Amino acid sequence: MPRPTIAELVVGDEPSSWQRLGFAIDDGRTTIGTTTVVLDGGGGGLRSWALRDAPATKIDGLETRAADGATREPGAHPNGAVRIDHVVVNTPDLQRTFAALQSAGLDLRRVREHSDTLHQGFFRLGEVILEVVENPQAEGPARFWGITLAVADIDRCAELMGEKLGEVHDAVQPGRRIATVRREAGLGVPVALITT
């Protein structure tokens, strides 16, 4: 049986805010690698996702719908975005969220305890990594938090985005560099760019 992959992410931003950052937009959508980001202008940051080949859609409060297996052609983005590297989810209960994701057919690949207060788990959904971060101070269900996009040339992105992109620095992953899109860019979801 095929493993689940992410078909769509629904983000409440206006398409124009992403277009100004160098994403190719078509009818309120931008396809980055095998995932389409639907920009519906409804606010609320990253609100939901659609999964291909998932046997369940009840995932610890994460708004999820089933998607067919079809993929859209990826866009040729002026900023050089090639795929979604990872999607971040916060949860007050790591084990509860792990169990829900595993019930939906996702494989827990790795758990990392970075410190006494930072615990993470990683799932692979095709070309995208799902990073689940425990936040014991939070309450309720798991929540989508942010997106990191892999780009071909992060220095080119820095030139293109100017003041809208923070300082490029070494990432946690050896040999990779990362930068965060600043609030001034007008996005409602935290977005980072990382080298491939």
**DSSP string covering 132-177, please?**
EEE-TT--SS-EEEEEEEEES-HHHHHHHHGGGB---EE-SSTT-E
Rounded alpha-carbon distances, angstroms, from residue 71 to 19, 32, 57, 172: 21, 11, 19, 31
pLDDT in the model for residue 115:
65
pLDDT confidence bin for 117, thresholds 50/70/90: low
Region 160-170: mean pLDDT is 95
pLDDT in the model for residue 116:
66
What is the percent of the chain with per-residue pLDDT over 70, rounded to a whole number? Answer: 96
38 pLDDT higher than 90 = yes
pTM for this prediction: 0.92
* All domains of the chain in start order, with CATH: 5-195 (3.10.180.10)
69 pLDDT higher than 80 = no
* Mean pLDDT for the chain overall: 92
44 pLDDT higher than 90 = no
